[in-house]
A and B are shown apart, each in its own frame.
Chain A
Amino acid sequence: MKSGPGLYERFKRFTQVASTLSGARQKTSLPGKARQPDKNKPDRVDSLKLAGWKQLHEFVYSRSLTLPNPYKDLRPEPLFFEKTHKIRSELCFYDTETTGLSGGAGNVVFLLGLGRIKNDHLLFEQYFLADFPGEPEFLSLLSPKLRDDYLYVSYNGSAFDRHILQTRYIMHGMQKNLPNQLDLLFTARRLWKPLIGHCSLHQVEEQVLDIIRKQDVPGQEVPALYFEYLRTANPAHLKLIFTHNKQDILSLIHLYYKLQTIFEYPLGTQDIDSSALGRMLLALKHPQAEALLEKAAAKDDPRCAHILSMHYKANGRWEEALKIWQQLYNRGKNTSAGLELAKYWEHKKRQYGKALSITEDLLANAVPHPVQLRRALQHRSRRLRQKISHSGISNGTD
């Protein structure tokens, strides 16, 4: 609206000053020191010379490897999957590498790795996008690889990879329904989070699967390596990414097998959160679920004992449930066990006095309860008193 120097000119001026001044910390939103623009830089990367890769399109490459199958008895129906899936013809392990670490429209998938077990072999494939303009072709070529009749196994795929792929198809106006996923992260988190923490694939590899990667790039460095390759057209960086992606898929297969073993022989499993496993086994109606929980409860694991008691309660096995609650309550004034006892005496046995004394006992607990629980207890106590006084009157008149 006002006459004056051009925007770009002023901009240059500011950035020049920013770089000459004192090597000062970058405080403005301007990125760091400007590099000399390379006016001779070609608009696109020359054809890649990558041994073992074939070029499918100007910017799209792929390779296939046939590796020995590490686990002959790996089964395509996952025992540990709670959802009942239509039996699919095949398992497909997959992982993507992307230009960003969070989601959003600007995060691009540039590498997809797929692994399938076929008899004695592991068929491994990678699809690589060598520069952004090739993305539509890249996605078209991937489309038949993402089939409805496979079960896609991933690590964090349902929260990340799947959405990023979906976004990419939308960005190019393409219709693609991505098949359902089996995300091993969920299962791994439930079983190991209390023991090893966050449960990144890396942590699980080291602490559960005993896999130590040699000369691997950390996942968060992958985007930087790809950008470095885009700038320099030097494929040396790519090999690190390709290997990283391949290792991710191999680890996925190891993890899948590990989980399969755990769910086949839960009683022989160690270093695992038994209560989480027990809960999952119960949900799956696994024949060894009770045995596992009983074993853990006997080893003084109150969470397992509680899960087991609730399982008994749900199946009307009151005697067994009652035994656990009484044990838990007598030993450590366990609140949830106390609450169950109060419910049991009130509703099941109509012994209001017993129920009231436990409720009052809980309310008198030295450790303050959360407000909601306290209110619920007070409410129960009032109701019990009413019931007691009512029954007292009726007893008297009879």
Chain B
Amino acid sequence: MTDKSQDIEQLISHLERDKSFLSSVTRWEKIAARRGDYADLPPGLHPALSAAIKKRGITRLYTHQALCYQHVRAGKNITVVTPTASGKTLCYNLPILQTLLEDPAAKALYLFPTKALSQDQQAELNEVVLSQDIPVKIYTYDGDTPSSVRVSARNAGRIVISNPDMLHAGILPNHPKWIKFLQNLRFVVIDEVHTYRGVFGSHMTNLMRRLKRILRFYNSKPLFICCSATIGNPLELSQAVIEEQAELVDKNGAPSGSKHLIFYNPPLVDPVQGIRRGVVHEAQKLAALFLKAGIKTIVFARSRVRTELIASYINKSLANVYTDNRRIRVEPYRGGYLPNERRTIEQGLRKGTVQGVVSTNALELGIDIGGLDAAILAGFPGSIASSWQQAGRAGRSATVSLAVIIASASPLNQYIINHPEYFLEKSPESGWINADNMYILLDHLKCAVFELPFKQSEGFPGPVTELLDYLEENGVVRRSAHSYYWADRSYPAEQISLRSATAENVVIINTTKGKHEVIGEMDRPSAKELLFDNAIYMHRGEQYVVTSLDIDNKRCYVEETDANYYTDSIVKTDIKLLHEDKRYHKANSALVVGDILVRTQTAKFKKLKFNTHENIGYGDIHLPEEEMHTRSVVVLFAENTPAGSAFRDLADTEKIPVIARLGYLIKNVAPVFLLCDPRDIGIAERLKDTHFACPCFYIYDSYPGGTGLSEGFTEHADSIFQAALERIELCVCKTGCPSCIGAVEETADYKIDAKQALHTFLTVWLKERK
């Protein structure tokens, strides 16, 4: 422990003296260590329980744990906000085990967003329960549970640990088999509740509506215990998920070590074009430096491809230095790996056989990977909340830790790195749910009718009977004697995925040298963009080339390759306005909110060389298009608005570049205000829109039916355009770069100064009001 402290303190003082490193640092924030606040073990705690926790070295509680205990024992729902290493599980395990010991019939359901977290929890609970022979049977019930164990889980499980997907497709549709459990269900724990925002959260709310509906049928009304990482509105979000009141517990009593938080903007290599050193290389360089200093390091990358790239770069750079004598192992970790691969890596990290890991946000959640000393964020993760979580992955209660946020060239990253105060002072984002997204609601209504015939709306909001009538017209529901019955031979939950717009996953099969081995899977829309024929697919550092993608049969065949490039697809989008719902006059322009149909097609792909990322060729993709109904806001440069006249005043040659570049800029700036990821937003520009008969651009929600982003955009339109203008003004480049309006390629069709033109346009457009 002290060795580690010395290692890291040495590294920090080394960095503090490194001039070239410091020249790229825009802020170095030192967060002081904190002492813990403690409370006595609650009076009346069952002796076996207090003996069990004492055995683990716990003789008193943190104040927030004690408060949770009081609230739950008083019969109140709670939402507890828990930073990393604050003893979260005791917040719910203590009051629940106490009740389960008092009442031998009582049961509890724990829901974790991932299987890995469930397994962690099972291991932890077992430790408590087995150490004192506490007679509480605990079962994990997920897709991996063998059918023999499933029966005992249903009949004998006092605590059943599961995930939303299993509740949705396994437990609720078969609720009569769970009658004993559901009749006596006293607690529902929803851990990592902050992950249930956006689409996933909307599904979760509807899932809870279904659960509560079934529980009413069995006359039980459990308490809900929600645990959240630090977000802007933990209480509001969890209340939106459970649709009940809850008490907020957010005064953390756990101690924490001091932390250094460094904002790092990679140095400019070409000030004219505004090109900075790439985030991948900078991350690799810092990670290698840390690892060689003996610091256990986690790198968070923004995409699956980058995870693989960074890990392989780090391993290569280390292989040059240390050959066989001191092996430092770095593993990539991301979704799409098979469960046992993931478990192996997690275990390696805990046991210390793996010193470094490069991960997508998959490791952001509380999977137990032991203590890490440093976190490197290769690119701003898109939200302040997940930045804190990722940074929080380094550091345990007693030691100094280090987190470095490396900015990428994107406008969003450049905005944050130049405004560290925005990051440090603003409270983290709030999570929002649009539980009444009609696709999501309708899907869950189908499941709910399957589970129990409907007599009235029964806890579902809005025009439930109308939606049920719609389902009847389509022959999956039958209305008879004023009730609605499921009338289809299918099992609806099977076709509905809580995680993505489609339940259809493409299975990736390695067929190298006659093998036939499943190496991963991917949802269908992503597969169309990443697994097209001849695409390069990377998996645990291995490269594969796609030999054929069979969308109909959901299979993708790949073979190992050692090509020196990777691939990136080019997506074409076609938009049709279905209905205009509302028109606003805001931000010196006209904004229209309505429903649209988006048709996307991946038609071409680029081949990009490793390391230099230069474009070395194109290829064609032949795949059917994807269709999506969603919600959009359209920014109109109508004649009678300042935006319209500012646009009209542009030279004709400037119009196309200005509107195209504006799209890029907005897509990348808006997420700061909409609390979403740039990937959640689609953009399409029209020089002359056939419907509106004027120049405009569409900003739309990338999820079918919409999740409220369009409405959010209209609220924040002024600030978003203002921030876009500011981004151009603050950017050091001359003619445009990825950090503001997008890179201007040598081959661009137009020979005008797009950055200047866009700056002028925005200035004129936005000036009027001020």
Residue ranges of A at the interface with B (Cβ–Cβ < 8 Å):
1-8, 10-15, 17-18, 21, 24-25, 27-32, 34-37, 43-44, 99-108, 131-133, 163, 166-167, 170-171, 220, 223-224, 227, 230-231
- Interchain CA distance A5-B579 in the complex, whole Å: 10
Asked if A170 meets B443 with Cβ closer than 8 Å, knowing A28-B629, A37-B472, A43-B480, the reply is no
Query: Interface code B619-663, partner A: CB below 8 Å = 1, 0 otherwise?
Result: 000001011110000000000000000000000000000000000
Inter-chain contacts of B481 with A (CB < 8 A): 43-44, 131-133
**A27 and B626: CB pair below 8 A?**
yes
Query: Interface code B435-474, partner A: CB below 8 Å = 1, 0 otherwise?
Result: 0101101110000011111000000001100110111111
Asked if A29 meets B480 with Cβ closer than 8 Å, knowing A5-B581, A7-B467, A230-B487, the reply is no
**B469 and A35: CB pair below 8 A?**
no
Asked if A7 meets B436 with Cβ closer than 8 Å, knowing A132-B480, A132-B485, the reply is yes
Inter-chain contacts of A34 with B (CB < 8 A): 470, 473-474
Known A4-B581, A10-B579, A132-B487; further 12 A-B contacts with Cβ < 8 A: A17-B629, A29-B443, A34-B473, A43-B481, A44-B481, A100-B489, A104-B174, A105-B173, A105-B451, A106-B492, A163-B177, A223-B489
**B175 and A105: CB pair below 8 A?**
yes
Q: Which of A13, A32, A170, A224 contacts B179 (CB 8 A)?
A: A170
From A58, which residue of chain B is reached at the shortest CB distance? B481
Report the minimal beta-carbon distance from A212 to chain B, rounded to whole angstroms.
Answer: 26
From A24, which residue of chain B is reached at the shortest CB distance? B627
From A167, which residue of chain B is reached at the shortest CB distance? B176
Report the minimal beta-carbon distance from B713 to chain A, rounded to whole angstroms.
Answer: 12
Inter-chain contacts of B486 with A (CB < 8 A): 99, 106
From A17, which residue of chain B is reached at the shortest CB distance? B578
**A106 and B495: CB pair below 8 A?**
no
Report the minimal beta-carbon distance from A46 to chain B, rounded to whole angstroms.
Answer: 13
From A173, which residue of chain B is reached at the shortest CB distance? B217
Inter-chain contacts of B628 with A (CB < 8 A): 28
- Interchain CA distance A376-B123 in the complex, whole Å: 30
**B473 and A106: CB pair below 8 A?**
no
Inter-chain contacts of B491 with A (CB < 8 A): 100, 102, 104, 106-107
- 7 A–B pairs (Cβ distance < 8 Å), ordered by A: A7-B462, A10-B438, A17-B578, A100-B489, A100-B491, A105-B450, A131-B481
**A35 and B474: CB pair below 8 A?**
yes
- Interchain CA distance A376-B112 in the complex, whole Å: 40
**A105 and B595: CB pair below 8 A?**
no
- Decide if the interface of chain B is mainly helix, strand, loop or mixed: mixed
B490 contacts partner chain A, Cβ-Cβ < 8 Å: yes
Inter-chain contacts of B479 with A (CB < 8 A): 43
- Interchain CA distance A5-B710 in the complex, whole Å: 14
Inter-chain contacts of A14 with B (CB < 8 A): 438, 578, 595, 629
Inter-chain contacts of B492 with A (CB < 8 A): 106
B593 contacts partner chain A, Cβ-Cβ < 8 Å: yes
Q: Which of A12, A29, A35, A166 contacts B496 (CB 8 A)?
A: A29
Asked if A106 meets B451 with Cβ closer than 8 Å, knowing A4-B581, A27-B627, A34-B474, the reply is yes
Inter-chain contacts of A102 with B (CB < 8 A): 491, 494
From A166, which residue of chain B is reached at the shortest CB distance? B176
Q: Tally chain B residues at the interface, Cβ within 8 Å.
A: 62
Report the minimal beta-carbon distance from A167 to chain B, rounded to whole angstroms.
Answer: 4
Inter-chain contacts of B487 with A (CB < 8 A): 99, 132, 227, 230
**A105 and B474: CB pair below 8 A?**
no
From A103, which residue of chain B is reached at the shortest CB distance? B174
Q: Which of B443, B450, B467, B483 contacts A132 (CB 8 A)?
A: B483
- Interchain CA distance A11-B481 in the complex, whole Å: 26
**A13 and B176: CB pair below 8 A?**
no
Inter-chain contacts of A10 with B (CB < 8 A): 438, 579, 595
Q: Which of A13, A27, A223 contacts B579 (CB 8 A)?
A: A13
B143 contacts partner chain A, Cβ-Cβ < 8 Å: no
Report the minimal beta-carbon distance from B449 to chain A, rounded to whole angstroms.
Answer: 7
From A3, which residue of chain B is reached at the shortest CB distance? B582
Residue ranges of B at the interface with A (Cβ–Cβ < 8 Å):
173-177, 179, 434, 436, 438-439, 441-443, 449-453, 462-463, 466-467, 469-476, 478-483, 485-492, 494-496, 578-579, 581-582, 593, 595, 597, 624, 626-629, 704, 708, 711
**B482 and A29: CB pair below 8 A?**
no
Asked if A133 meets B470 with Cβ closer than 8 Å, knowing A8-B463, A104-B173, A105-B450, the reply is no
Inter-chain contacts of B434 with A (CB < 8 A): 1
Inter-chain contacts of A30 with B (CB < 8 A): 442, 474
Report the minimal beta-carbon distance from A334 to chain B, rounded to whole angstroms.
Answer: 29
**B490 and A100: CB pair below 8 A?**
yes
Report the minimal beta-carbon distance from A214 to chain B, rounded to whole angstroms.
Answer: 25
Asked if A37 meets B473 with Cβ closer than 8 Å, knowing A8-B463, A27-B626, the reply is yes
From B448, which residue of chain A is reached at the shortest CB distance? A106
Report the minimal beta-carbon distance from A217 to chain B, rounded to whole angstroms.
Answer: 13
From A170, which residue of chain B is reached at the shortest CB distance? B176
Report the minimal beta-carbon distance from B734 to chain A, rounded to whole angstroms.
Answer: 42
Inter-chain contacts of A24 with B (CB < 8 A): 627
Asked if A133 meets B480 with Cβ closer than 8 Å, knowing A17-B597, A28-B629, A167-B177, the reply is yes
**A8 and B711: CB pair below 8 A?**
no
- Interchain CA distance A30-B624 in the complex, whole Å: 19
- Interchain CA distance A15-B489 in the complex, whole Å: 23
Q: Which of A6, A25, A105, A224 contacts B489 (CB 8 A)?
A: A224
- Interchain CA distance A10-B593 in the complex, whole Å: 13
Inter-chain contacts of A104 with B (CB < 8 A): 173-174, 450, 491
Report the minimal beta-carbon distance from B552 to chain A, rounded to whole angstroms.
Answer: 11
**B449 and A106: CB pair below 8 A?**
yes
Inter-chain contacts of A171 with B (CB < 8 A): 176, 452
**B469 and A132: CB pair below 8 A?**
no
- Interchain CA distance A30-B476 in the complex, whole Å: 11
Report the minimal beta-carbon distance from A26 to chain B, rounded to whole angstroms.
Answer: 10
- Interchain CA distance A102-B486 in the complex, whole Å: 14
Report the minimal beta-carbon distance from B220 to chain A, rounded to whole angstroms.
Answer: 14
From B490, which residue of chain A is reached at the shortest CB distance? A100
Report the minimal beta-carbon distance from A308 to chain B, rounded to whole angstroms.
Answer: 31
Inter-chain contacts of B626 with A (CB < 8 A): 27
Asked if A105 meets B176 with Cβ closer than 8 Å, knowing A35-B475, A44-B480, the reply is yes
**A28 and B176: CB pair below 8 A?**
no
Asked if A6 meets B480 with Cβ closer than 8 Å, knowing A21-B597, A101-B489, A230-B487, the reply is no
Inter-chain contacts of B595 with A (CB < 8 A): 10, 13-14
Report the minimal beta-carbon distance from B198 to chain A, rounded to whole angstroms.
Answer: 14
**B467 and A11: CB pair below 8 A?**
yes
Q: Which of A21, A25, A227 contacts B475 (CB 8 A)?
A: A227
From B624, which residue of chain A is reached at the shortest CB distance? A25
**A31 and B176: CB pair below 8 A?**
no
- Interchain CA distance A37-B475 in the complex, whole Å: 10
Asked if A11 meets B470 with Cβ closer than 8 Å, knowing A17-B597, A100-B491, the reply is yes
**Residue among B438, B469, B479 with max Cβ neighbours from chain A (10 Å):** B438
**A11 and B438: CB pair below 8 A?**
yes
Inter-chain contacts of A44 with B (CB < 8 A): 480-481
Asked if A7 meets B450 with Cβ closer than 8 Å, knowing A100-B490, A104-B174, the reply is no
Asked if A7 meets B473 with Cβ closer than 8 Å, knowing A28-B629, A100-B489, A132-B478, the reply is no
- Interchain CA distance A15-B473 in the complex, whole Å: 12
Report the minimal beta-carbon distance from A19 to chain B, rounded to whole angstroms.
Answer: 11
- Interchain CA distance A209-B319 in the complex, whole Å: 69
Q: Which of B451, B579, B627 contacts A28 (CB 8 A)?
A: B627
Inter-chain contacts of A227 with B (CB < 8 A): 475, 478, 487-489
Report the minimal beta-carbon distance from A13 to chain B, rounded to whole angstroms.
Answer: 5
From A104, which residue of chain B is reached at the shortest CB distance? B173
- Interchain CA distance A43-B449 in the complex, whole Å: 18
Inter-chain contacts of B452 with A (CB < 8 A): 105, 171
Report the minimal beta-carbon distance from B439 to chain A, rounded to whole angstroms.
Answer: 6
- Interchain CA distance A10-B467 in the complex, whole Å: 11
Inter-chain contacts of B581 with A (CB < 8 A): 4-5
**B489 and A1: CB pair below 8 A?**
no
